[in-house]
A and B are shown apart, each in its own frame.
Chain A
Amino acid sequence: MTTSFLDAPAPASPPPTRRSSRPPRRRKPVLPWLLLSATLVVLGVFTGYPIVRLVVMSFQEYERAQLMGTPAEWVGFDNYVSILTDLDGFWTVLLRSFVVMVICVVLTMVIGTLLALLMMRLGKGLRVLVSVGLLLAWAMPPLSATIVWGWIFDTEYGIVNNLLTRITGDRWFGHSWLLDPLTFFMILVIIVVWGAVPFVAFTMYAGLTQIPGEVIEAAQLDGASALQRFRLVQIPYVSGIITVLIVLSMIWDLRLFTQVFALQTIGGDREATNTIGVYIFQTGMAQGHYGVAGAIGVIFVFIMMGLSSYYVRRTVQEEEL
């Protein structure tokens, strides 16, 4: 209320009438901040402050000793230099994360779109069947999902090795899928894509059903084949949706943690299968190089901000902020 007095118009202007046309909200700049206060505190303390600490830590020598109370020394850009010159460590992990991300995004988008087209083509009963299947995959917690896939591909008793033995006649029991980094990532991609496809499929389906039937019919009358209709009519209509889906999938797949971490625990060479999130965890929490991990974290934040800037800008435009 104090503010509204301070902000009150000069006495020369006529006093506002009881039912002024001016909305009353304009006169209370305190109330909105009061409503926001709790949120501001939580976000400030548990998001803003950690970011500041992260940046500070990335410029310090921070090891286990510092955690015990030894004062941390400022080392300037030393942590960054050691990361950016670490070809076998950081760069390999970063490249690996990007390769996994690209494979996951491409597969998720292609399979998701194909499933959306399939659902367009199906009658109601079968469409519900497909939807229920996708919903189940969608609702599974990532950790449970990873453990189940780990069981499916288990070395000794997994159903995959069992079936392969039956089909090929060779003995597959004892074949470890997770030990070889290549097949480790194959299984990781299966887990991630399996969990991510439903969202893309449902969104694409919803988008495709928005296209007016007349447009497709007109194309059909003009003699366009199914493939041409898809490429020249349907895709342009949903191009906005596709772009956002790709950006979001890229962000989510680069942030993979639970699946990689749990799969490594089931079996697998941590060194050869780390992605960026897990690498930060290993460097910081497991090995105690907090300063270096902090610097990787800062670099990771920049990468994510760069990737999401397009999404943020687009949202701002659409919402006319």
Chain B
Amino acid sequence: MSAVESRTVQAGLGIRPQAGPARTSGRGGPARRVGDVVWGLVAVAVFAMSAFPVYWMINTSFLPNSAIRGEDIAFFPTPDLFTMRNYVSVITDESRAAFTPAMWNSIWVTTLTVFLAMILGFLASLALTRFKFKGRRTFILLILVVQMLPGEAMFISLFRIIDSWHMLNTVIGLVLVYLAGVLPFTIWTLRGFVNGVPAELEEAAMIDGCTKAGAFWRVTFPLLAPGLVATGVFALIQAWNEFILALIIMSRPESMTLPIWLRTFQQANEATNWGAMMAGSTLVALPVVIFFLFVQGRMTGGLVSGAVKG
């Protein structure tokens, strides 16, 4: 489950974000001011607790082993401690699966999944909103139910199917499996967005001389951009983070994706090299975290507008 999916769930619940809550009262007695300080401290504590693991991961990744294993806790990679060795060793280490191919596998799998999910999802949502046909309702219901199927139950038969088609350790095999995983959500969300654009807008354009297709491309499509971005981000995070299916489908060192590559650090039986593991974790997490912080604000508005019922 990703954050983006959650966002859309919120949209589905009819929640609209507001600038902030209205303060329940304007009175500001001394008791209130003491309360403000207490709540402020609680807020700082909450921030510290939720951000700590991320901070600790990045901090450790820049520390030498001596500091990691020392009795003193190194809270900052001070200049005398700071080292890039963990990153260098993680990226160049020859003894385990190499980083660069894993990165490229992840990039390819993610890009293709996002690209295909957006195209197929868009076409399907079009069919489900702008056309009336027998089986439409059934299909929508099916999409809802399929979304709830636990992939954890199915990976054995998936593995056997992929194996019998000789698609193990291929990017396209993993992409197709991911595609089946993200499509229901993508279609469901985009359907909401297309529904949100009133058909009258298109009809107006058609009266002005547009063809049906032309009206759609010029009027409705631009309004769907936020929806496409939202579903794209969802597919991106899913494909980048996915672990179980990648674990069984991409088992060869040269075809591993980043999460599976990260796992190889755990298998080494010598004392765990936490510096290297934190550097690896950071490399896997950072693109998603940065990307997510960056899109989050923009996406919220888009996703919520998708929930507006036309």
Contacts and interface: CB of A to CB of B under 8 A. Distances in A.
Pairing of A with B: yes
Interface of A: 24-26, 28-29, 31-33, 35-36, 38-39, 42-43, 45-47, 49-51, 53-54, 57, 67, 115, 118-124, 126-127, 129-130, 132-145, 147-149, 151-152, 154, 156-157, 159, 162-163, 194, 197-199, 202-203, 206-210, 213, 216-217, 220, 240-241, 244, 248, 251-252, 255, 257-258, 261-262, 265-266, 276-277, 280-281, 284-285, 290, 293-294, 296-298, 300-301, 304-305, 308, 311-312, 315-316, 318, 321
Nearest to B69: A157
A210 B25 contact: no
B179 A140 contact: no
A42 B123 contact: no
Contact of B47 (A129, A148, A298): A129
Given A50-B154, A151-B277, A140 B53 contact: yes
Interface in B77-124: 120-121, 123-124
B292 A141 contact: no
Contacts of A154: 272, 274
Interface in B3-38: 3, 6, 9-10, 12-13, 15-18, 20-22, 24-25, 36
Contact of B123 (A38, A132, A156, A157): A38
Most interface-central of A39, A197, A290 (chain B CB within 10 A): A39
A143 B12 contact: no
Nearest to A315: B144
A34 to B, nearest CB: 8
Nearest to A159: B73
Interface of B: 1, 3, 6, 9-10, 12-13, 15-18, 20-22, 24-25, 36, 39-40, 42-44, 46-51, 53-54, 56-57, 60, 68-69, 71, 73, 120-121, 123-124, 126-128, 130-134, 136-137, 139-141, 144-146, 148-150, 152-161, 176-177, 179-180, 183-184, 187, 212, 240-241, 243-244, 248, 259, 262-263, 266-267, 271-272, 274, 277-278, 281-282, 284-285, 288-289, 292-293, 296
Given A51-B149, A147-B262, A142 B243 contact: yes
Contacts of B124: 35-36, 38-39
B197 to A, nearest CB: 15
Contacts of A199: 1, 3, 6
A257 B154 CA distance: 13
Q: Which 10 pairs across A and B sit closest by C-beta, in order of nearness?
A: A46-B180, A277-B152, A297-B153, A133-B47, A35-B127, A308-B148, A32-B127, A133-B50, A139-B292, A32-B131
Contacts of A51: 149, 154, 157
Most interface-central of B53, B137, B183, B282 (chain A CB within 10 A): B53
Nearest to B267: A265
Contacts of A143: 241, 243, 259, 262-263, 281, 284
Given A210-B15, A262-B263, A42 B288 contact: no
Nearest to A48: B146
Contacts of B278: 147-148, 151
B246 to A, nearest CB: 10
A32 B13 CA distance: 28
A312 B148 contact: yes
10 contacts: A25-B132, A32-B131, A46-B176, A46-B180, A51-B149, A133-B48, A210-B18, A217-B24, A285-B248, A316-B141
A206 B17 contact: yes
Contacts of B150: 255, 277, 300-301, 304
Contact of A251 (B22, B134, B148, B282): B148
A152 B53 CA distance: 8
Given A47-B146, A203-B10, 6 more contacts: A47-B154, A144-B285, A152-B56, A209-B20, A240-B13, A300-B150
B43 A129 contact: yes
Most interface-central of B1, B49, B51, B177 (chain A CB within 10 A): B1
A216 B145 contact: no
Given A43-B184, A139-B3, A199-B6, A124 B145 contact: no
Contacts of B267: 265
Contacts of B183: 39, 42-43
B212 to A, nearest CB: 7
B190 to A, nearest CB: 11
Nearest to A35: B127
Given A136-B289, A144-B284, A321-B137, A248 B40 contact: no
B300 to A, nearest CB: 9
Given A29-B133, A32-B131, A290 B9 contact: no
A29 B127 CA distance: 10
Given A162-B71, A210-B15, A141 B51 contact: no
